[in-house]
Each structure stands twice: as C-alpha cells, then as structure tokens.
C-alpha cells in the first residue's frame, strides 16, 4: 500500500473525475469529514475503507491502494501459471527463462506475492536441473518475501529448501526444516491439510534414508489420513508416491505398487512428465526389491529416458545408480560398472547418499569379480560419503558388507571394527537425533507414536 498522501491524492483525483462530492463518495458508510481527512493525507485508510471507496469510484482496491491497474497482477499470475505448465511439460531451463522474466516484471510492479511465486518456480527448475545451491537460494528468498504470511503459505518454500538439502546429502538438516515447520503448524493451530500433506510427504524420504523407518511410517499414516481433505490432485499423487516407500520398507509390496499406480494415473492425466518419471523410477525400485529384475529394468530405463529428455541431470544420475544395481544383479557387470563409473567421472554431482550408493555398487561388482582390494576401496569411499549425510540404514548395510569382506580375508579385528560401526548406526532405530517426532494435527484422532 502506498503512503497516505499518495492514496489521498488518488482518491481526490478519481472522485473529481467522476463528478462526486465528498458526501456522495462517503455515504452511507463514512462521513464527508473522513473523506476530507483521507484526501489530505492525514490518515492511513484501512483495507475495509479502501475497498468501500473503490466500489464507489468504480475501480479496484489494488489500483486505489497502489496505483497499479488490477489487470497487471492478474495477467502476471496467468503468466506464472503458464510457466508452471511449461515446467511440467518441457525442459526446466526453458521454464526457468520464463520465471526469470516474470520475476523481473513482478519486481518492477512491486508485487511481493507474484515475486514469491516466480522464485518458487525458479527453485523448482533448479531442483530439476540439479543446481542445488541455486534452488536453496530461490526457496529461501521466497520464504523471506512471505515472512509476514501465515505458515501454510510458506510451506512450499520450506519444502523446497528441505528437498534441496536432502538431494545434497544433508539429511538431518532437511529433517530439521520439515519437522520444525510441521510442529509450528500444529502448535499454532494452523493445521492446513494441504500444507501438512506437503510436509509429511516430503519428510518420508529423508527418514527412510536415515533408517528412521518408524517415523517414516508414522508420517505416511498422517498424510494418508489428511489426503481426503486435499483438493489438489497432484499433491495427493505426490503423497501416494512417497507413502509407497514406507509400504516397501514394511514389506507391503502390493500396497506400494497400488499407491504408485494411483500416482501414475493422476500424473498421466495431468501430463506432469517429471512426476510420472519418478513413478516409473519408484515402481522399478519396488520390482527390483521383489526380484522382478527384467520388469525393474524396463521401468528404470523408462524413467531414465524421460528424465534425460527433460535434462533433469541430478534425478537422471540417481536413476542410473538404481538401474546399474539391477544390471549387476542380472550379471551384466560391464554395463553396470560403465554406467556408474561414468556417472562419477562426469562429476554430475549426485547427492552424497547417491554417490555413496554408486561406490557401494562398484564395491559389490569388484567383490563379485574377486578384486577384494578394489571392493574395500569403494566401500571405504562410500562410508565417508554416507557418514557426512547421516544415512543410517545405508551405513549399517555398508559396514556389514565391509566387515564380511575383511573377515573373509582373515582380518578379524578390522572386521569387528566395521561391524561395531554398523551396530552403532543401528543402535537407535527409528530416530533422527532431532528430539521427539513431529506431532499429529490436534483435530485428528491420535495415531500410535513412533519409537524414539
């Protein structure tokens, strides 16, 4: 809103142009004296007063408060919607160019909400392109712009920052961001279903990567319970995609596949190509865990082709790790090793968790080929990467692999050290060391709390 003097001059000009007296403009809600005081710039009008006067003057509240025609903001919002559609259906870099242009326009017009939307779009584009530092910066800038808005309005920015840190291998910080926002929503009585489903769904991934399966399952249950109150089909589909991961950790393969099928149907209908690719990726992972390796290879190759076509470099690299593991299990060692080695040599920047997974896979291939020295080297490099990220479940499994390798070589003391390290990561299953798990919304029937 402009300064009172500017608003007063604007009201006086529009009143004069329309041939109205101060009394005619003021009645029946206000007095001529109030209009006179307002026009002289001696009072800052309330939103209610400006909306009344705008109606009497045949203009919009926005134009009266800021001097900007209302259609400019509307046109900018429509253009932002077009940019979101471009991101959903085309390359991220092209959508990013649209968002940058719209951000500049929103800054010129001093439209804070539209600036925030453009920054959120740029953050999504940077995530898809694997530019994690840029993504975190865009989301943080959007959060600053929305600082005076209710927390549900800031949920997308928080979730975006958390995902950027998660993909960079900073699992604990990602959990901290999401858990803090969830607790603040519930504690403040702001339990907006869409915001909560967005945040509960986002926290499932880092929980599982950290071995906190009980917390992941609890978050999935809460998200599923809230889903009927959410009107955005893409958000519900994303929730089903994440919930499938918890079903898989519980051995509920059929339920996981059913959740992914629901998500795929929505994404296909909405033509959200990246999200659909993620469903193919997850279904391939589910099938690989169930021993259906040929089907898993088909799904993962489909996901890889879709993501590569969109130039989603980071996600493509992550799918390649999963695909290489399937190829190894099919006995196609050269192809698997080439895929993963190329990924690391190109410096394509996969997050620490996935880079660790790549070295773990190269270690398995080396071990199965009888090269114990190379296997140990890859396992140790994987351990160094995963320790920085806090991926507890992966660390425990890796320590077991390294311990088994050392024991077979007769290096008993070293093997015992590796096993002890792995046991340390398994010592407190279901925790993140971040304190109590986030609470459920106050209006929901309580679900059993996960172990701490």
Do 319 and 304 touch, CB atoms closer than 8 A?
yes
Residue 400: half-sphere exposure toward Cβ, Cα within 13 Å: 9
pLDDT at residue 447 in the model: 41
Distance CA 224, CA 245 (A): 13
pLDDT at residue 428 in the model: 44
pLDDT at residue 109 in the model: 80
Asked if omega into 28 is within 30° of 0 (cis), the reply is yes
CA dihedral 337, 341, 342, 344 (to 10 degrees): 150
Do 239 and 262 touch, CB atoms closer than 8 A?
no
Do 152 and 194 touch, CB atoms closer than 8 A?
yes
Query: Minimal CA–CA distance to 181: which of 170, 192, 171, 165?
Result: 192
Q: Is 231 helix (H, G, I), strand (E, B) or coil?
A: coil
pLDDT at residue 392 in the model: 59
What are the residue ranges in the chain where pLDDT is below 50? 346-350, 427-434, 444-452
What's the N-to-C CA distance of the chain in angstroms?
A: 48
Q: Is 438 helix (H, G, I), strand (E, B) or coil?
A: coil
pLDDT at residue 70 in the model: 62
Alpha helices by DSSP H, listed for 110-150, are 112-129, 132-145
pLDDT at residue 318 in the model: 82
Radius of gyration of the chain (CA): 27
442: which DSSP letter?
Answer: T
Do 45 and 4 touch, CB atoms closer than 8 A?
yes
pLDDT at residue 298 in the model: 94
Question: Which pair of tokens denotes residue 228?
Answer: 């009927």
- What are the respective helix, strand and coil percentages of the chain, to the nearest 5? 75, 0, 25
Distance CA 391, CA 384 (A): 11
């Amino acid at each position: 809103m402009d300064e009172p003097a500017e608003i007063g001059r604007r009201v006086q000009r529009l009143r004069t142009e329309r041939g109205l007296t101060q009394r005619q403009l003021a009645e029946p809600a206000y007095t001529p004296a109030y209009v006179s005081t307002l026009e002289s710039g001696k009072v800052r009008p309330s939103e209610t007063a400006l909306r009344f006067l705008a109606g009497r003057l045949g203009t919009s509240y926005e134009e009266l408060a800021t001097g900007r025609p209302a259609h400019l903001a509307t046109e900018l919002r429509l253009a932002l919607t077009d940019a979101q559609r471009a991101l959903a259906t085309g390359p991220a870099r092209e959508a990013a160019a649209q968002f940058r242009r719209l951000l500049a326009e929103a800054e010129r017009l001093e439209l804070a909400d539209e600036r925030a939307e453009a920054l959120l779009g740029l953050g999504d584009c940077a995530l898809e392109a694997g530019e994690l530092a840029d993504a975190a910066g865009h989301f943080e800038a959007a959060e600053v712009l929305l600082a005076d808005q209710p927390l549900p309005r800031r949920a997308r920015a928080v979730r975006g920052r958390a995902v950027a840190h998660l993909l960079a291998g900073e699992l604990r910080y990602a959990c901290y961001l999401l858990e803090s926002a969830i607790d603040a929503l519930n504690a403040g009585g702001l339990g907006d279903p869409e915001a909560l489903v967005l945040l509960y769904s986002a926290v499932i991934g880092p929980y599982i990567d950290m071995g906190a399966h009980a917390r992941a399952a609890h978050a999935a249950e809460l998200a599923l319970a809230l889903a009927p109150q959410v009107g955005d089909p893409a958000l519900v589909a994303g929730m089903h995609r994440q919930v499938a991961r918890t079903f898989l950790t519980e051995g509920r393969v059929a339920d996981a596949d059913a959740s992914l099928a629901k998500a795929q149907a929505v994404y296909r209908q909405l033509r959200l190509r990246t999200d659909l690719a993620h469903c193919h990726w997850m279904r391939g992972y589910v099938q690989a865990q169930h021993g259906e390796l040929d089907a898993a290879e088909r799904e993962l190759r489909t996901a890889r082709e879709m993501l590569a076509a969109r130039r989603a470099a980071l996600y493509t690299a992550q799918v390649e790790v999963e695909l290489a593991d399937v190829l190894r299990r099919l006995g196609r060692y050269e192809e698997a090793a080439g895929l993963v080695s190329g990924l690391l040599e190109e410096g394509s920047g996969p997050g620490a968790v996935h880079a660790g997974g790549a070295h773990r896979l190269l270690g398995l291939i080396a071990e199965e080929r009888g090269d114990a020295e190379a296997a140990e080297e890859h396992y140790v490099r994987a351990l160094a990467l995963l320790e920085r990220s806090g991926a507890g479940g992966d660390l425990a499994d890796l320590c077991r692999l390294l311990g088994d390798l050392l024991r077979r070589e007769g290096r008993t003391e070293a093997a015992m050290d590796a096993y002890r390290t792995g046991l340390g990561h398994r010592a407190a299953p279901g925790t993140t060391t971040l304190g109590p798990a986030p609470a459920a919304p106050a209006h929901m029937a309580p679900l059993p709390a996960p172990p701490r």
